[in-house]
Structure 1
């Protein structure tokens, strides 16, 4: 009579591999804690400091909105919108070059990939610091920052949408002798346009958030007002600015979600 077989969820090799992964993760976590150099006294005192900060923020200085917040809030929306529009103008050709089924030139594919990776690999605040040094503080630096940072996001997703499009309509147009522009507009674009506009709206929503932050390094928008209030310890104004940023982000999220449902 054969021995009963015992069911095991993982093989010995899989258990060993899981153990090694967990061990490496634990070592990295311990190493990270040592690198961060957490001071226990500051950590235990944090709740009291947060409570004191909220006390300083109340009551909120609502009167400051008209003279110090409204203009820079509108400027923030302008930076996000203009930066997104500029992004679309650059990301569309870059995304086309990145799609190997549309652009069959390996050198252009490589160049497009390099542009997309370069845009995404540098943090938004780093781009902002760079363009503030080039153009000086203000909305121009902020708009260019948003545009350059967004190219990698929009271009990559647009290129992937092109690569995933059905080849049937495209091959039919090519067999009929249609020129390249007609093949793209009649074969590719109808398939990817919903995804493209969804990507554009999603990126605008992200840019509204990022436009609120880049002002901390001088790139225009409400972030500059926030930086000034923080430096002067006007906590009641800080509370007002943070509330305005939160409200704008929520409204932008609701707006984008509503429009995307209609498009997609």
Structure 2
């Protein structure tokens, strides 16, 4: 605790020492300098006339978006169904691949902490590092446009999310239950069935439903890169400046996300 003496010789408590205060000022100065530098780098190619004109342009586009073209809904049922299928099938495919990865990544279930676990962690980090749109862009170039590319993109993006949360749940299980099962002479499969799986099932159910809810949102925009779904219609409507159709698509996306959020909450509440 920094203390200095007053003129009368009485000790006076100080919140920080002079050296600490100096270091804090230097740190704040460096932070401000870094902010100014980054701002200059980000805005060096900015045309400020367009920025100043942005409110007028936004108001103009907003006026064209209303009223929404509700009769366009007849053309959205198919893409909406594709969007739901992309999210659902992508999530199921991710579960199939993520569960083994999670068991290989968990310290208490991996066969090798030195070799196998780092590989599993690398798969998790790689999946989580690349956005679904980038996966979609790559897969459309590799296997062509369509719903299948969207499903694979959602699956590859979801592996890391599901596996990371699941392996953390595996590592947090109660080891005393495993020891009790081992005392009976149970096999490795029996330890998995009766010791580990019952403990992680609530977390697994919550993770799965939560990821499906996220994938509903991500799949709505995958069509922007050619991976099918509502995003494909959205891109087409924007290209022809059909702003009434864009509003209708926004409404459909909003309602779909709200319903998926409600379903996700109900399922998690019933399972956990």
Q: Tell me which of 110, 119, 123 is aligned to 2:127.
A: 119
Q: Name the residue aligned to 1:65.
A: 73
The count of residues paired between Structure 1 and Structure 2 equals 262
Q: Does 1:182 align with 2:156?
A: no
CA RMSD, Structure 1 to Structure 2 (Å): 1.6
In structure 2, do the counterparts of structure 1 residues 88 and 15 end up closer, same or farther at CA, with 3 Å as the change threshold?
farther
The offset of 1:50, in angstroms, is: 1.1
1:94–1:13 Cα change, 3 Å: farther
Q: Which residue of 1 aligns with 2:157?
A: 149
Aligned-residue offset at 1:4: 2.9
TM-score, normalising length from structure 2?
0.91
Cα distance in 1, alignment partners of residues 20 and 257 from structure 2: 45
Moved more, 201-210 or 43-52: 43-52
- Per the TM alignment, residue 193 of structure 1 is displaced from its structure 2 partner at its CA by 1.0
Where does structure 2 lack aligned partners over 5 or more consecutive residues? 1-7
Q: Is 1:213 aligned to 2:221, yes or no? A: yes
Structure 1: 5+ residue runs without aligned partners?
Answer: none
The whole-number CA distance in structure 1 between the counterparts of 2:24 and 2:204 is 40
Match of 2:38 in 1: 32
1:54-101 per-position Cα deviation (integer Å, ceiling 9, x unaligned): 1111121100111x2111011101100000000111100000000011
Give the Cα separation in 1 of the matches to 2:19 and 2:198. Answer: 49
- Displacement, 1:39? 3.2
Larger Rg: 2
C-alpha displacement at 1:20, in angstroms?
4.4
